[in-house]
Structure 1
Amino acid sequence: MRDEYDFSGGIKNPYVRQQKTTVTIRLDTATVDYFKKLSDETSMPYQTLINAYLADCVAHKRRPSITWSEESGAAAQPAHA
């Protein structure tokens, strides 16, 4: 094996899928339970289902409708389109 290789003329593999980004996100227990149940029904990992749902939101440019409670200052559940 050579001590040094020159990759300056190399190109990226066009067949490699786009990488995913690892993030930490806090979700309600009910939300995770919902996607885990759906995971059992569809035989797809629940994280894949969450990603697919969020990707669909991006594709359709869905935005959450959030209203703030004056008493607590906490966000209410978003309305679904």
Structure 2
Amino acid sequence: MRDEYDFSKARRGAALASPGKTRITIMLDDDVISFFRAQAEQQGTGYQTMVNAALRAAMAPAKAEKPDAKPVTAATLRRILREELRAG
């Protein structure tokens, strides 16, 4: 080991950036953190990974909706109603 190291160009933070990840600060209730830490310990995984999975599960219903779907116009609605009234 050296007697002295030069840290003049050093920066704080992770040595390598994680692609696809963003570091944020978030305030969560203590019981939420305790729950995820206990579950993570039982499953042998990280609690942040479990929180991420829970957030992804919460996103699933929103993703199931078709965000690219065009809004129904009045003309389309009239056409559908006419077809249904004729069929019934």
User: Normalization by structure 1: what TM-score?
Assistant: 0.51
Paired with 1:59 and 1:22, the residues of 2 have a C-alpha distance of 22
Q: Distance in 2 between matches of 1:54 and 1:18?
A: 19
RMSD of Structure 2 on Structure 1 (CA)? 2.1
Alpha-carbon distance between aligned partners in 2 of 1:57 and 1:50, rounded to the nearest angstrom: 11
Aligned length: 46
Which one has more relative contact order, counting CA pairs under 8 Å at least 6 apart? 1
- Shift in Å at residue 60 of structure 1? 2.2
Please report the TM-score for the alignment, with normalisation by the length of structure 2. Answer: 0.47
Counterpart-to-counterpart distance in 1, 2:38 and 2:30: 12
**Larger helix proportion, structure 1 or 2?**
2
Moved over 2 A (4+): none
Unmatched runs of 5 consecutive residues or more in structure 1: 1-16, 62-81
> Which ranges in structure 2 are unaligned for 5 or more consecutive residues?
1-17, 63-88
How does 1:1-81 map onto structure 2 within 5 Å?
19-61=20-62
Percentage of matched positions with identical amino acids: 31
For 1:27 and 1:53, the matched residues in 2 are separated by 14
The structure with more radius of gyration = 2
